Chain A
Amino acid sequence: MFRNRRNAQRRGGSKNEGELYALTDLAEGEKGIMVKALGGFGLVRRLAEMGLTPGVEVKLLRKGSFGGPVEIEVRGVALALGRGVASRVLVKPSKDEHHD
């Protein structure tokens, strides 16, 4: 369903439209459109309540070192997601990417 992670990460900004990536595959500063969260009822609902609903734009702010959490911006708020949680959030490339 989503491509080899390392490969995607190395390629950074140049992602193919229509393909799905894990949130963790975004480069720092890169944006994506949330498509779906994989996981249990509780996790998916929680993410939705924190603003991560399908169709919303997310921006990856930074990745923690040693496989630590990622920080994202969604709906004007900064959220920290554990690497495990973030890898279950699928995104597609955002159209208006290199805006900043």
Chain B
Amino acid sequence: MSIMTKELRVALAGNANVGKSVIFNQLTGLNQVVGNWPGKTVERAEGTLHFKGYAIRIIDLPGIYSLSTFSIEEIVSRDYIAVEKPDIIVNVVDASALERNLYFTLQLLELEAPIVMALNQVDYAAKKGIRINTEKLSEILGVPVVPTVAITGSGINELLTTVIAVASGEKKLQPLKVKFGVEVEKRVKKLQELVQRRLPQLCEVYPARWVATKLLERDSDVAGKLKNYEGGTEALQLAGKLAAELEKLHGEPSPVILASERYSIASKIAKEVTIVEAPPRISLEQKLDAISTHKILGYPILIGAILAMFSLIFIGGSLFSGFLESFFGNIILHIGNALAFLPSTAQSLITEGVLGGIVAGITIALPYIVPFYIILALLEDSGYLPRAAFLMDNLMHKIGLHGKAFIPLILGYGCSVPACLSCRIMETQRERLLAAFVVTLIPCAARTVVILGLVGRFVGLHAALAIYIFDLILIFILGRIAFKVLPGEPVGLIMEMPPYKKPSFKGVLTKTWSRTKDFVYVAFPIIVAGSLAITALNITGFINYITAGAKPLISGWLGLPVEAGVPLIFGVLRKELALILLSQLIPLESLSALQMIVFALVIMVYIPCIATIAALIREFGWKKATAITITDITLALLLGGIAYRILLILMPS
């Protein structure tokens, strides 16, 4: 880089489902880091790009509908904008839903953020018969408006050029000053005057008018900030009084009054700049939408989609798995021969421990996980998941959740870790916890490897299917119990139904790639460490002590061969590792059908793997993660023992 390189910080902000992450991907490519906001369970995606001598750091803020206190995402976003003061906020707006998007834009303007608007999905809007006069919109808002079609990359260069023009001062902003109705405006001004006078330090960070408006809206987060300041109490008292006056006047809670005011401004602007052309014809998307959420037809379609997804994963997975196994088996053999000069201990540590672990990861886990990620990205990008959530809302309410929770559950069949993280889409902490608990009971791809690779292969598919069905019943019962036990009220569903879209090849690939990369980074070190540890235990003979110690539980209670103890313990590292290790200790065929079923059952229910525990700790803290873990272990052992005794009567061998 030359010394001339100037740095810019740009934040992408906007509603969910407007193509914000597509723009982010277009800008940063694969050059992005996904992490968490410090101390918060909110995803933070960051990337850098170089353009016209600028190093531009781009931060993708979470997709939100408002800048209030509804979710942590909203608070994180507004604090970032107000406190960190990025050079430019690129407000990504869905041209086909301008009014609702402008509601968010107005709040950015209230925060006095330097905005450049990316008017996205102009192609889709045109298809709906909506054309937007961008010059006029830009004139009214006083900020540049760049039409984009993120999927194709159209308008992205112009967007960047505009960002730089504004950041360098070449292009001046004259942002619209948001003015409310008389009654509200009067009170905002009064409060603003007090805030400016009594809270000067706070006004260095947040615009005084914004603080006043938020206080009038009874914003709990801003109210909390005020408590640290002298003069805060006075402002709060005045705000309370003024809000009560407004509420008496309108007969609505003050946040509803302010929301109404903003929406009427948004609606006015939208009407002024929108040209509705031809009356929209019924499109293919609408037809698909009608069928896939149909009262009756929707359900067989949903079941069909899930079945198709799993058969694709299993068929593709086992094909690949077999192919990779024979390929890598040979390589290992060659390496083993090449290492013949080493002492036998070192040799087996390297071949069985390290290489065996890596190969197991590549041949057993990846072939199932990569197709799953591809299909998941297709489901996400096409917009089918909200439809599934719509159909499942009713059933999910039975376990105290609403339709959106169906999304983490589906993800759970792939990997519990992203599924736990995706519980963030639920609105309250209680629902997040409930959903995460249920997710730990869903057999992830690794557990599927055990269920299908052991029971499915040796006992038969019907037995494997029975285990899955049993699991669903178990989830339902436990979910219901947890729902009754956890304090708090269930929350109803409020969810946007974004229109169907054709997923882009590039988008699906990018998602699959970054998820697979994450998986490899997290899982492979654990697999190798586990495999290495067990090889070491085997060589040193320590394994016999563990086996002997666990014998009463493993053989006495669960009716499994004593050797199963070690794999069950190590299964906490990776569930499929349990099967791999078991096969290294005894031939799998030597197990009876009954033992296979019990083994798979215990593996399916007992502790989520260590990566999931880590995810749970990150999301919910030590206490709750421990509680979930202990519940799962106890349950698995209990069920395993009971199943052994019942099946002994049902299927005498």
Contacts and interface: CB of A to CB of B under 8 A. Distances in A.
Nearest to B402: A82
A51 B102 CA distance: 11
Interface stretch (A5-13, A18-26, A70-78, A90-98): A70-78
Interface stretch (B198-206, B431-439, B487-495, B645-653): B487-495
B390 A64 contact: yes
B128 to A, nearest CB: 9
B588 interface: no
Interface string A64-88: 1111110100011111111111000
Contacts of B185: none
B263 A56 contact: yes
B295 to A, nearest CB: 4
Contacts of B66: 49
Contacts of B476: none
Residue of B252, B290, B386, B494 with most chain A CB atoms under a 10 A cut-off? B494
Contacts, number: 120
B288 interface: no
Contact of B492 (A49, A62, A85): A85
Majority SS at the chain B contact face? helix
A81 B492 contact: yes
A71 B493 CA distance: 11
B333 interface: no
A31 to B, nearest CB: 16
A62 B387 CA distance: 12
B263 A65 contact: no
Interface string B423-450: 0000000000000000000000000000
Given A51-B263, A71-B497, A76-B98, A45 B255 contact: yes
A78 B497 contact: yes
Interface stretch (B319-327, B391-399, B409-417, B625-633): B391-399
A59 to B, nearest CB: 13
Given A81-B492, A82-B494, A49 B390 contact: no
A27 interface: no
B296 A82 contact: no
Given A62-B293, A68-B391, A82-B492, 11 more contacts: A53-B259, A64-B393, A65-B295, A67-B394, A68-B390, A71-B293, A75-B263, A76-B96, A76-B99, A80-B495, A85-B492
24 contacts: A36-B252, A44-B252, A44-B253, A45-B259, A50-B65, A51-B100, A51-B103, A51-B263, A53-B263, A54-B252, A64-B293, A65-B296, A67-B394, A68-B393, A76-B96, A76-B97, A76-B98, A77-B100, A81-B493, A82-B393, A82-B403, A82-B493, A82-B494, A84-B492
